[in-house]
Chain A
C-alpha cells in the first residue's frame, strides 16, 4: 500500500478549480501533482487522475468539446483503459462525457441560469472502484456551481446504466433538469467517475459542508487498490 498516492490534477486553459482540488487531495492524504493539457504523458508515478472544474477553452462550442482533444487526454484515455481511477468534477465531467469515457452529455440548465448552491445528493450505487466506504442511500451535501449540469441520456441508456449500477449519484431534488436527477455516473468498468457537484469545495468544516470527503477519499482508496492490484 502506498501512503500518499500520487494523483495528477490536469490544468486546461480555463480550469479554475485545479488549485482547490490539489489542496483538498493533500488534506485527505494524497500527493497531488500538476499535469498540463498540452503534455503527451501523465507525470511519472501517476496513480489517479482528476479533471477539475472550470471553463476549459472558454466552454466554446460545447462544454468540454475542445478540451477532449487536448494532447493529455490521450494519456488519460490510456490510463483509464488500463484500469486507472479517473475523477471528473463539473467541467471535468463534461470533458469525460465529450471524450466518450463516460456516458451521456451535460446540457444547459433547464432554468437557463448558472446555479451556485449547496445541494444534497444520494449514493445510488456502490459498484464502482470509488465506493469502498459508500453506502447506498447515503446523503452527501456538496456545492454545485454550473450553467451546464443538466445531464441527458436516452431511456435505453439510462436503463442500461441502472442495470449495471453506473448511476453513482442522484440529486434529492430536481436542481437543473437532469434526467432522473442524475448528478454523477461511472463508466462500465467502474474506474471512471464524473459528477457535477464539487467535492473539493466540501472537505473543510470552516468552509461548510463535508460531503466531498467520501468522494475524494473514494478516489484515493481507488488509487491504492489499483496500485496494489496492478
Chain B
C-alpha cells in the first residue's frame, strides 16, 4: 500500500530555507508573511494492513525521516499518487 510522510520544521524553529523562499516570494511581489519548507516522502509498503503500515511508518519517521528535536511529521496512509 502507498503512504506519504510529511515532515515539517517545528513551529518556532528557525527555518533559513523557508525564510529564503518567503523573501523570494516577496521579491516577486506576492504578499507573503511567512513560508516554511518541509519535506515529503512517498513510500510504498509491502503490507496491505493499515495498522501494520501505520506502526512501520511511525518508526520510519522517528528513526530516520525526521529529527524530533526540530521537525514534526504527519503520516497519510492509502494516498494515491
A: residues with CB less than 8 A from B are 61-62, 65-66, 69, 98, 104-105, 107-112, 150, 152-154, 177
Contacts and interface: CB of A to CB of B under 8 A. Distances in A.
Given A61-B64, A69-B64, A150-B14, 10 more contacts: A65-B64, A65-B67, A105-B67, A107-B70, A109-B16, A112-B20, A150-B16, A152-B70, A153-B69, A177-B16
Question: Which 3 pairs of residues, A with B, have the shortest CB-CB distance?
Answer: A112-B16, A108-B16, A105-B69
Interface of B: 13-14, 16-17, 19-20, 39, 64-65, 67, 69-70
Contacts of A177: 14, 16
A108 B17 contact: yes
User: From DSSP, what is the main secondary structure of chain A's interface residues?
Assistant: loop
Contacts of A111: 16
A152 B14 CA distance: 9
Nearest to B37: A108
A110 B14 contact: yes
30 contacts: A61-B39, A61-B64, A61-B65, A62-B67, A65-B67, A69-B64, A98-B67, A105-B67, A105-B69, A105-B70, A107-B13, A107-B14, A107-B16, A108-B16, A108-B17, A109-B16, A110-B16, A111-B16, A112-B16, A112-B19, A112-B20, A150-B14, A150-B16, A152-B13, A152-B69, A152-B70, A153-B69, A154-B69, A177-B14, A177-B16
